[in-house]
Amino acid sequence: MTNVSEITTTRTTSTLNSNPSSSSSSSLKFDVSWNQTLVNLAHQASVYGIAAGYCISASLLSIINKWAVMKFPYPGALTALQYLTSALGVLIFGWLKLLEHDRIDILTMWKFLPAAVIFYLSLFTNSELLLHANVDTFIVFRSAVPMFVAIGETLFLKQPWPLLSTWLSLATIFVGSVIYVLTDYQFTSTSYGWALAYLISMSIDFVYIKHVVMTIGLNTWGLVLYNNLEALMLFPVELLIMSELKKIKHEISDESDWYSFPVLLPVGLSCLFGLAISFFGFSCRRATSATSFTVLGIVNKLLTVVINLVIWDKHSTLMGTVGLLICMLGGVLYQQSAVKLKATATVIEKTEARDEEQQKFLEIQPEASLVEKGNSASGGNG
């Protein structure tokens, strides 16, 4: 007969012997869980950091460009410096293996040339608009671009006509634009001439660049590189047409302070922020959803308006600001309708693909049944 104390001792010993393995297993699970938590926190911090970088660079870019063009009133030269910084930035980051871009190819450059010309015109008119008008005017006309892009996509890219909600958002943008223009005390034919040129060039740029993106086969950073490199090559043409070279030579001969720190600072910042908006913008698109990116775009514009109201008096009246906010509201509604339309199109594509698979299955089924019947008949005859 086994002693009770022996059984108890045996159980205690086995329990003690099993404890190290169970404790090590628990410790391993805890380590894995803790490591996963750290990875998730690091990812969240990275996303928030990218979003913050995008908000800061996007909200300040227009104001810094306005500051730069006030101190260095040569829009062509300023945009050329921005192209140079962006192109060199992509090449250097690519060399450091921080990003991947397509190799420079002469045939691809030739195909991309029309897009580069349009891109150059859009940025040049952007700088001229900021030179002759305030930041609010720039935001209003920038917000009005979707009205013309929506029509251009339908006519030239064979996209379906916008939904009713999209038309309502575009109408909201139009109403806000009219309110702003009617109350703009700084209205001049020169500033609004450049605003109209900016509106046309940006609308064409958006539609044509979308066509290029869909057909030319470049990755994101390849597009940035080709865009900026070819636009930079167009700078000498702009110097001849706009006679900027004569103005710059005149400034140098007059021993102007264009190379002083108060001038170099905003020019340098505009170049760095131009590169930053490319980096943070594309990184943010990858790290966040389309809706989140849309919300960030709204926050950026609001920050731009607030900063513009605070730092100087180069802004619109109260009613003009109301018109500006209505334009921005229309932009929000437009982007939301675009996201919904994209989601609907994705669902339709998935449904069509599933229906196609089911149809193929139904077509295969009768053939399989006939083969099966033939096999059973031949087996019966045998």
- For the stretch 60-82, pLDDT in tens is 888 898 899 888 888 888 888 98
- pLDDT of 32 reads 64
- pLDDT of 87 reads 92
**Is 308 a domain residue?**
yes
**Is 7 a domain residue?**
no
**Is 265 a domain residue?**
yes
Range of the domain at 150: 52-340
Q: What is the DSSP string of 191-259?
A: HHHHHHHHHHHHHHHHHHHHHHHHHH---HHHHHHHHHHHHHHTHHHHHHHHTHHHHHHHHHHTT-STT
**Is 325 a domain residue?**
yes
What radius of gyration, in Å, describes the C-alpha atoms of the chain?
A: 31
pLDDT > 90 fraction of the chain, expressed in percent and rounded:
7
Tally of domains in the chain: 1
pTM listed for this prediction: 0.64
Confidence of residue 270 (pLDDT cuts 50, 70, 90): very high
* Tens digit of each residue's pLDDT (9 = 90 or more) over 175-224: 887 787 777 766 678 888 998 999 899 888 878 877 777 787 888 788 88
> What average pLDDT does range 255-276 have in this prediction?
84
**Is 2 a domain residue?**
no
pLDDT > 70 fraction of the chain, expressed in percent and rounded:
71
Spatial distance between the Cα atoms of 209 and 103, rounded to a whole number of angstroms: 19
**Is 24 a domain residue?**
no
Report which of 264, 261, 145, 246 is spatially closest to residue 195, judged by C-alpha positions: 145
> What average pLDDT does range 86-99 have in this prediction?
90
Spatial distance between the Cα atoms of 139 and 105, rounded to a whole number of angstroms: 36
**Is 318 a domain residue?**
yes
Spatial distance between the Cα atoms of 155 and 151, rounded to a whole number of angstroms: 6
Q: Is the pLDDT of residue 103 over 80?
A: yes
- pLDDT of 210 reads 73
- Give kind and range of the element (H or E) at residue 261: helix 261-287
* Tens digit of each residue's pLDDT (9 = 90 or more) over 11-38: 544 444 555 555 566 666 666 677 777 7
